[in-house]
Structure 1
Amino acid sequence: MTTAAGLSRRHFLRNAGLVGLGALGSSSFLAACATSASNGPVKQAAGAVTVQSNLSSPQAKVAIEALAKAFGDKGGATATVNTVASETFRTQLPSYLTSANPPDTFTWYPGSLLSGYAKKGLLLDVGDVWQTMGNYSQAMRSLSGDGAGHQVFVPTSYYWWGFFYRKSNFAKWGVKPPTNWSEFLALCETLKGKGISPIGLGAGGGTQWTASAWFDYLNIRINGAQFHRDLLAGRGRFDDPKVKKIFDPWRQVLPYTDPNGTALAFQDATTVLLQGKTGMVLTGTFFADAAPKDALDDLDFFQFPILDPSVPVAEEGPTDGFFASARTPHVAEVKEWFKYVATAEAQELYIKNSSGTVLPANPSAKDSGTPLVQKGRKLLNDAKELTQFFNRDSSDALQPTADAALIRFIQKPNELDSILSDWQTAAAKVWQGQS
């Protein structure tokens, strides 16, 4: 059975951790919803839906502006967008939702974050919007619920992660994508011998969370997706020997990682990659929104190498969309906006004006059809299980604990035992506060 995103229903439903679990990451369809950038108070306009958004990649900004314009051109409600940096957005989200004058709606993601806010009565029930979204799958519906029978989220896109590189650079360097871990290490050694930093990182400048992709992939490759989800949900320990084990292969590639990796934001790491100063970057397709249009055809990716063939293959496949404040004075207008962004028309419009590297959530919507997108869709379709991203499968509150631990490991790998012990202590406090 095919779902909204072209993923099998069992792929979504088997991933039980998706339902009621949460996330950070970088939205693609929603990442740069911006008609203006401001960290100041939200300004409400009569009849206008205020959209509080994170990130402002150039192409995504153009795309969301086109979407907002098309919505307004239909007559009736209009939408205005207020953009803040992702890290600011994440830390201020609780304040946004509990303020006396909250934004109407937010770009973010489904999961435990939603159920937590919903339990506090902070999110708008959009079940009647879902009644107009009949072609969306039950899996998408479940992912967008609050765990108590209410729909509080409207999904608009999903995307994949992998090692991205420039095809022209690989050709110039005489190298090919690896098919296993040994070949990956050999590729790194070859690139290093050519004076190139093999692996870009982009875990600085407020985007430390990108390092979590390495943790996620090593854990799902070695210990499996269910162990990973259980760990992030507080049913495991970060100082478990099985968790410590995943840092062995990571330690192998640290000498091949850009030494400036913990100083550059992912947008800057994208620039360095495109300039050929690094060979590849483990990232999500959102990074392409920061790339020049003329570079997109030169981009390709390969799958994170398999480390243990006996472990069912899982991939990261984050979903993005909108949720709304229960305190919005513009309920009718918000629901009008939600009904629009859920349509195939809207999602295709966004894709047309963006880098085109996301997959639409509406099953009737067409993706960009590029070889890169078709390859990404196949990667997710072929996966036995799907995860979202570190804090999408845990909570926004847990992400800073990962940021601190993983950046410290990258910089001081010999302190791993104390790093994991400190991480477990910090994580336990988060889990206790959420119980």
Structure 2
Amino acid sequence: MNTTTRTSPVSRRGFLLGASALGTSGLLAGCLGSEGTPEETGTEQTGTDETSSEPSGPVTLQNSQSDPAPREALEALIGDYPGDAEINTVAIEQFRAQLSTYLTSANPPDVLTWYAGSVARDYAAEGLLLDVSDMWEGEGACANFSDALRELSSAEDGSQIFVPTNYYWWSIFYKKSAFEEWGVSAPETWEDFLALCEDLKGRGVSPLANGIGSTPWMASGWFDYLNLRINGAQYHRELLAGEHAFTDPEVEAVLEEYTKLIPYFDPNMASYSYQEAVTPMVQNESAMYLIGAFVTQFFPEDQRDDLDFFSVPPINPDVPSAEEAPTDGYFAASGTDNPEGTKELLAYLASAESQQTFIEISGSSNLPTHPDVDTSSFSPLVQKGIELLNSTEEITQFFNRDSSDALQATADDALTRFLADPSDIPGILEGWQAAAERVWDQ
């Protein structure tokens, strides 16, 4: 679906570096030391010819957040923007497939929603992203971000090419009232977790929700966490960077453990999207869902306070604890004909007021990156999420964010085939490795 609205007038220590003084006001140091335009802050134009004629027309925001609540939130922000801007919204899978085309077109969108980390670096390496380093210096828009957040937003050459505005945690979500009805509690060990799944299945409940139909990347959630719990965050990052093979015995051990979960997934998961997979949980037909905190927006309002979560229990006691905390925000096309206006829109979207508006309207449990957003009034669930990320030893992003969108496609194929038929793990891993090598050799 397409809409247009126009308006006018690393390690945990590294991830949290510089943020400890913020307490529950946010793990990441803030954005917008000043809301001045590039001219007002003395920054320089980058990515285009400064002698070019004055650009005409609105600054465009290409938006992948097509779920109703975040879409409404971004449309409201663009509607209140004092400059000239428009927003175009497409479904996330269509956006992902067309992202390279957007960035390489003769008239690209100016600003695009997407992810920090490796996936942004890949596009920057192709020269497709606007250098926004001036927004990170002096009194620029993101000058007060932590070193870890700057690193997440940097290209290989050290320049900044991303403006992060929110982040969230992954965990296993469940409804407190349902657990109480079934007389069960959150497990503390992996063995207890598997026993809980067996218990719930015996009651006629699908223990694990999932939606891998139109959103096959959801299969990577469990792969990531099992790899983190069995082999550790360092091995996981190295694997996704091509320093290990998917045929390694370490990866085979991950899929062997993953096999134990297959009988407990909702049998309809291959026909659900990640949003649709929530419905059986709403109806107490499925019990638990490994997913990001954005899942809260898909529950009815009268059930959101009923939600709780627990982290995937440890499996290998010798590896450090690790959690996934993907960071979202915006980058800009290097081909924009209006870098000044583009940076003004980026600064507006990153402001404390805009982040507060987005979180309130979207009903999301995402955490703001700006320190001036007061999180003290956030729900107990969000406060618990902050505590989880404060206490873990390692932070990762998500499969494609720690690798690339192209490598994500290889995972989608391999893992959905595995979930449909896990009988030939070596064969699946051989095929995955061959596909991954083609990506790494590009």
**TM-score of the aligned structures, taking structure 1 as reference length:** 0.87
**2:195 corresponds to 1:186:** yes
Matches within 5 A, 1:250-269: 250-269=258-277
Post-superposition shift, 1:135?
Answer: 2.0
2:61 equivalent in structure 1: 51
Structure 1, gaps ≥5 residues long: 1-6, 14-44
2:401 equivalent in structure 1: 392
2:154 equivalent in structure 1: 145
1:286 equivalent in structure 2: 294
- 1:239 and 1:149 mapped to 2: Cα distance? 33
- 1:119 and 1:221 mapped to 2: Cα distance? 32
1:63 equivalent in structure 2: 73
2:51 equivalent in structure 1: none
Name which of 325, 350, 357 aligns with 2:365: 357
> Cα deviations across residues 151-194 of structure 1 (Å, max 9, x unaligned)?
11000000000111111111111111111111111111121111
Residue type at the aligned position of 1:309: P
Post-superposition shift, 1:9?
Answer: 4.7
Matches within 5 A, 1:126-205: 126-131=132-137, 132=140, 133-204=142-213
Moved more, 331-340 or 364-373: 364-373
Moved more, 260-269 or 78-87: 78-87
Partner secondary structure for residue 164 of structure 2: strand
Name which of 88, 93, 96 aligns with 2:99: 93
Moved more, 89-98 or 128-137: 128-137
Structure with the greater alpha carbon radius of gyration: 2
- 1:310 and 1:8 mapped to 2: Cα distance? 17
Matches within 5 A, 1:14-413: 46-70=56-80, 72=81, 75=82, 77-131=83-137, 132=140, 133-204=142-213, 206-367=214-375, 369-413=378-422
Would you identify which runs of 4 or more consecutive aligned residues in structure 1 move more than 4 Å?
Answer: none
Among the aligned pairs, what percent are the same residue? 51
- 1:195 and 1:163 mapped to 2: Cα distance? 20
CA 1:402/1:12 → structure 2, altered by over 3 Å: closer, same or farther?
farther
Instruction: Say what the alpha-carbon RMSD is for the aligned residues.
Output: 1.7
- 2:291 and 2:16 mapped to 1: Cα distance? 22
Partner secondary structure for residue 267 of structure 1: coil
- 1:321 and 1:55 mapped to 2: Cα distance? 11
Partner secondary structure for residue 121 of structure 2: helix
> Cα deviations across residues 48-85 of structure 1 (Å, max 9, x unaligned)?
22111113222212222222223x2xx3x133211111
* Contact 1:360/1:366, CA 8 A, preserved across alignment: no
Partner secondary structure for residue 159 of structure 2: coil
Partner secondary structure for residue 266 of structure 1: coil
Post-superposition shift, 1:8?
Answer: 6.2
> Cα deviations across residues 286-316 of structure 1 (Å, max 9, x unaligned)?
2222233222111111111111122100100
- 2:173 and 2:127 mapped to 1: Cα distance? 41
1:16 equivalent in structure 2: none
Post-superposition shift, 1:270?
Answer: 1.2
